[in-house]
Amino acid sequence: MKWMATIQKIGVEAISNNENMVILFNETANEKLSRVAVIQKFDKETPVSSFICKKDDTVTIDGETYLVLHVGRMVADNMHAIGHCVLFFVDKLPEKTLHNAIYLQKDDEDPMPQFKQGDWISYEHR
C-alpha cells in the first residue's frame, strides 16, 4: 500500500541541514507549529486513516527513496490524528529513539532531500 501527501507549506524554521530532521504536520497545525514544520496533506485516494509504516518500508521525497530503519510506537496514531511525525535521516539508529519519529537510512555523503512546496512525499508499506 502507498500513501501520498503533498507538501503544502514549508515553515521558515522547518529545514536545517545541520539537524538531519524534519517535523511534519497536516494542515491543522497552528501558526507556531507551522513555523518549524513541513505541512503535508494526504491525497483523498490514500486516506491517512489507514496509514501504516514499519521497518523496511520506504519513504520517497524529492525523487529519493529512503529505507525505514525504525518507526516509533506513536507514529501511526499521530499520523491518523494530525498528520504528524518527525523524519530523521541517519546512517545508524541512535541508542534511544523517539516515539513520534520515523528513522530513514541516509548515507554520510548524501544531503537531506529537498522539500519543495507542491512536491509529493510517498510512504510505501510493503
Percent of the chain surpassing pLDDT 90:
83
Convert the pLDDT of each residue in 98-110 to its tens digit: 999 999 998 767 7
Q: Which residues contact 92 (CB under 8 A, 6 or more apart)?
A: none
State the DSSP string of 68-120: EEEE-TTHHHHHHHH--EEEEEESS--SS--TTEEEEE--TTPPPPP--TT-E
pLDDT at residue 82 tops 80: yes
Cβ-count burial 87-97 (b if 16+ within 10 Å, e if not):
bbbbeeeeeeb
* Cβ neighbours of 42 (radius 10 Å): 20
Q: What is the DSSP letter of 45?
A: T
Convert the pLDDT of each residue in 7-43 to its tens digit: 999 999 999 878 899 999 999 999 999 999 999 999 9
Cα 62 to Cα 119: distance, rounded to the nearest angstrom: 7
Residue 47 is predicted with a pLDDT of 85
Torsion-angle region of 62 (φ positive above 0: left; ψ -120 to 50: alpha; else: beta): left
